Structure 1
Amino acid sequence: MLNVVVMVSGGGTNLQAIIDAVDNGTITNTRLAGVISNNKNAYALERARIRGIPAQCVSPKDYEDRAQFNRKLLEAVDAYEPDLVVLAGFLVVIPPEMTAKYKNRMINIHPSLIPSFCGTGYYGLKVHEAALERGVRVVGATVHFVDEGTDTGPILLQKAVEVKQGDTPKELQRRVMEQAEWKILPRAIDLIANGKVTVKDKKAIIAQ
């Protein structure tokens, strides 16, 4: 049974996709151990409570400095004894200590086809604004392992989504979530839970 902690900053639509996938059997062999947010007002915390999943806020605003926050964040994650940490819209820089401790055991969902529109400054609507400004025809989402860089870890799954004429950033964001993010993030967790994923030479390999 894969013990999973989900970290999220906002509404938690990807968290809901994970919860639903566990409930309907799309994700197997998995237990949602806890949800952590840096934002006490994040609706994701309410989604967790509705489902009976332990949830808590660990906010940088509650600590004197970043080092103290980083320690408390890592302690909160460790307390759930996770086999996998899932970043589902977590808009806080992950402490290097956590990246090292959970190497190849932490994944992130990013709303673009990495290496396009990724890295520092590319998050949320900013990704879709940049894609539309560039005039690309295809966008999508990527699930990747988290390393010490920003969106630079081994790529696990990707799914493309077509850009439509006249799309607004919000319309495109919604389509990417519905057609890509909410599908490949649960799929990635299920693959890991069933021992289908290994990382070798900075590449994720999925067993057939």
Structure 2
Amino acid sequence: MLKIAVCVSGGGTNLQAIIDGIESGKISDTRIVLVFSNNPNAYALERAKKAGIPAVCKSPKNYPARDDFNKDFLETLKSAEPDLVVLAGCMVVIPKEIVRAFPNRIINIHPALIPSFCGQGYYGLHVHEKVLERGARVTGATVHFVDEGTDTGPIILQKAVMVEQDDTPEILQKRVMEQAEWKIMPKAIDLIAHGKVRVEDHKVIIDGYDPQSI
């Protein structure tokens, strides 16, 4: 049984996709042992409550220094004893101490096709704004392992989404979530739960991977 801790900052739509995936069987042999949020107003906390999942909120604003928050963040994750940490719309910069404590055991969902539209400053709606500003015809989402860089970890899954001519950032964001994010995050967790994912030379190898399955 894969035990996962899910870190969130906002509405928790990807968290809901994971909850639904576990309930439907699309994600098997997996249990959410903790939902962590840095935002007390995150609706994701309500989603966790409705699903009967333990949830913890710790805001950096309540600590005298960022290092104090980072230490408590790490200890909170460790106490849940997860096999995998899932960043599902988490706006906290993950400190190196946490990355080192969970090597190749932290995954993130990014709302674009890495290495395009990623790195410092590319998060949330801003990603979709930049996609439209550039006139890109195709965008999508990426699930990747987290390393000490920004969106530089090994890529696990990607799914493309077409950009339409009349898109606004909000419309594009919704389509990317529906057509890509909510599909590849549950799929990646299920693959990891069944031991089909490994990292070699900073690249992900997936045993028996069928790209048509997502």
TM beyond 0.5: yes
Partner of 1:8: 8
- Cα RMSD of the aligned pairs, angstroms, is 0.4
Partner of 1:160: 160
Output the TM-score relative to the length of structure 2. Answer: 0.97
CA distance in 1, matches of 2:56, 2:171: 31
Partner of 1:77: 77
CA distance in 2, matches of 1:33, 1:56: 11
CA distance in 2, matches of 1:173, 1:3: 29
Identity of aligned residues (%): 68
Partner of 1:90: 90
1:39 deviation in Å? 0.1
Amino acid at match of 2:69: F
CA distance in 2, matches of 1:98, 1:194: 24
Count, aligned residues:
208
Task: Say whether 1:207 aligns with 2:207.
Answer: yes
Q: 1:55-75: CA deviations, max 9, x gaps?
A: 010110110001100000001
Q: Where in structure 2 are there 5+ consecutive unaligned residues?
A: 209-214
Q: 1:22-61: CA deviations, max 9, x gaps?
A: 0000000101101000001100000000000000101101
Partner of 1:134: 134
CA distance in 2, matches of 1:89, 1:165: 26
CA distance in 2, matches of 1:205, 1:58: 35
1:83 deviation in Å? 0.1
Partner of 2:47: 47
CA distance in 2, matches of 1:51, 1:177: 21
Amino acid at match of 1:193: A
Q: Where in structure 1 are there 5+ consecutive unaligned residues?
A: none
Secondary structure of 1:4 counterpart: strand
Task: Say whether 1:28 aligns with 2:25.
Answer: no
CA distance in 2, matches of 1:8, 1:83: 17
Amino acid at match of 1:77: L
Output the TM-score relative to the length of structure 1. Answer: 0.99
Partner of 2:58: 58
Amino acid at match of 2:118: C
Amino acid at match of 1:148: E
Amino acid at match of 2:57: C
